[in-house]
Amino acid sequence: MDFFEAQARAKKSTSRLVALFALAVLGTVLGSYGAAVFALHQTHDDNPRRSGRSAQRSTLNAQLPSWWQPRLFLGVSSLTLAVVGLASLYKWNEFSVGGSAVAESVGGRRVDPHTTDTLERRLLNVVEEMAIASGVPVPAVYIMDEEPAINAFAAGLNTSDAVVAVTRGTLEKLSRDELQGVVGHEFSHLLNGDMRLNMRLTALVFGILVLGLAGRGILWTLRFQSLGGSRDREGKNSGGMLIAIGFVGLALLVLGYVGYFFGRLVQAAVSRQREYLADASAVQFTRNPGGLSGALKKIGGFALGSSIQSNQSGAIGHFFFAQGFRSHFGGLWATHPPLDERIRAIDPQFDGQMFDPPDVVDVTRESFVTAGLAPAQPSRTSHLAQPPATPAAAAIAAVGTLTPEQISNAQLLLDSTPARLRAATQTPAEAQVLLYGLLLGEHPATRARQRSLVASSSGGDALRTLDELAPSLVALGLAHKLPLLQLALPALRLLPPTALEPFLVTLDELVHIDGRVTAFEFALHKLLIRTLALGRTPGDAVVQIYSFNAVVDEISIVLSAMAHTSDNHALAAAEAFAIGAAHIKLIEHQLTLLDPVDCDVGPLDPALDTLATASLPIRQRTILACAHIAGADGQILIAEAELLRAIAATLDVPMPPLTLAPR
């Protein structure tokens, strides 16, 4: 699955949706204008000063307002657009808090990283494996305790604020392979840009619905006014006005709900297509069609299926793994394809037989393996993808993907990580100290100064924790360091601003204490800052730059930094730079290899921040060029891989761990 192609497809889908919703809003504007003109005519005809004489009636008819009223049209269209726009912005603002707000709104409970519940532990392990394998920050994990059916969803505006939520029924009824298939499905939504698309859909549909709600409010108000109003002459004289207002309210009610009806049709149609894509991606990720199809068969076999009980979940029905609510209008509003069609797309030999639930389950006699708590060993001899021809191709092919090999490697990496270090990732206090430890230098004098800094900034308890972690940190392999940061991110997101600021200051001082910044130090610092920033304010990730020419200087800095990072002198930095620049044909001859001092951390940091606001094609080409520079000599060194992942993370491009050459 091509990450950039999937992202572009999601963006194209969004553009088409915006166009369709714009047409719906335009129709609503024209309908509202027609209602307003009719009301104006009605008010004019009901003028109480009219006499019964035909001459006066003829004069009045001659003075009837024109059906084209530019000022009226401007007012009606402005008011309609304001209502729809403000309502959509209101709903979008609710979502901009992040995926956690969506999960909590439907009764989700965040899973404690220290949980001793075996089912919750299994879920955390599966999510962590997929996050490490795909190179994205580990999402927060939520459980909907009050939902006994089988369902799940992913939410968030980007990978930095994403959450994965599952129902209690998903935990209790699925095996590990089936759970992995469901989580793989949700990671597909995460990697393919579907989460942001789903949130935009919900906000736009809500904006149109508010018109209908406004019309209903007007009619409700008029009803009470008519019940309590007086019958004097003035009341009779205002009858025409009340009728006109009532007609406008009725028109808004009808138009709003008609627009909502068609908006939901568009929303459902797009959602069904994205579900097919997510199913295909999940099978590609796990190479285990039986896991995903088994979960779907269990949904079809259990009485509750995938039904969601929470009333608050109706607005996000298209977020879920399976149909959460009964579809109205003969399935036109169905957000998911029928189960048998989804299963048959995965398994063409499906005979239509769903899972047959047992009457009694003797859980006391289940073994660790049969309960699905132990990962199945992936096949080493079948379904193996052919490796790309070059390291650069491997790096780009890995972007936004999940493969059985990556998942298996992530499992091995997590299993080989010292238990004490994994435990430290689970609490905000120890996660901070863990990152301090990852930055400790090898030189004794530097290490002593760093320890002194930790003691003065964080206290004696932090220093004691650091000493406790030290033996495991010394033996830690380089491949484990950035994944440990990924594991620590959920805990670090819980830090309040008053604690986060001094932590980041200390981290920055630890990085610069020896007067130089290594590729790993820059990667860790940049990954952390970028992820925490987007996790707290996900709405800040907006595109502002669409021209390659506008970022020539920034791209030159990034490519130069990558060219100078290599420790292999067989290929000059200038030649490596030229190889990378050749992949950005539009500005190839404008790009310049800079001296190392002009592309070190000082200029590189703001250059990446600027490129983070660039459009997807610009970011795609920049990453492609960097990968070809890193692999120009036929291998990717550790320092190059660390810088490449830092660049990818800043540009919101998920890149998993790469196969590296020794330093």
Q: Would you name the residues annotated as active-site residues?
A: 186
Q: What is the length of the chain?
A: 663
**Per-residue buried b or exposed e for 21-50, using 16+ beta carbons within 10 Å of the residue's own CB:** beebbeebbebbbebbbebbebbbebeeee
Gap between the Cα atoms of 183 and 174, Å rounded: 12
Quote the CA–CA distance of 260 and 254 in Å, as a whole number: 10
Distance of CA 616 to the CA centre of its chain: 16
Tracing tokens 């707000």 back to the chain, one arrives at: 101
Q: How far apart are CA 650 and CA 159, in angstroms?
A: 12
Q: What does the alpha-carbon distance between residue 327 and residue 412 come to, in Å, rounded to a whole number?
A: 43
441 vs 210: CA distance, rounded Å: 58
Strands lying side by side in the sheet with 140-144: 108-110, 140-144, 163-167, 152-155
Within 10 A of 498 (CB to CB), how many other CB atoms are there? 7
To the nearest 10 degrees (0 to 180), the angle between helices 239-286 and 339-346 is 30
Q: How far apart are the first and last CA of the chain?
A: 31
Q: 46 Cβ partners below 8 Å, 6+ apart?
A: 239, 240, 241, 243
- Cβ burial of 536 (10 Å; 0-12, 13-18, 19+) is middle
Q: How many CB atoms lie within 10 A of CB 278?
A: 24
Q: What is the helix, strand, coil percentage profile of the chain, to 5?
A: 65, 5, 30
In the block, tokens 């009610």 appear at 253
SS3 per residue for 461-474:
HHHHHHHHHHHHHH
Two tokens, residue 560: 């130069």
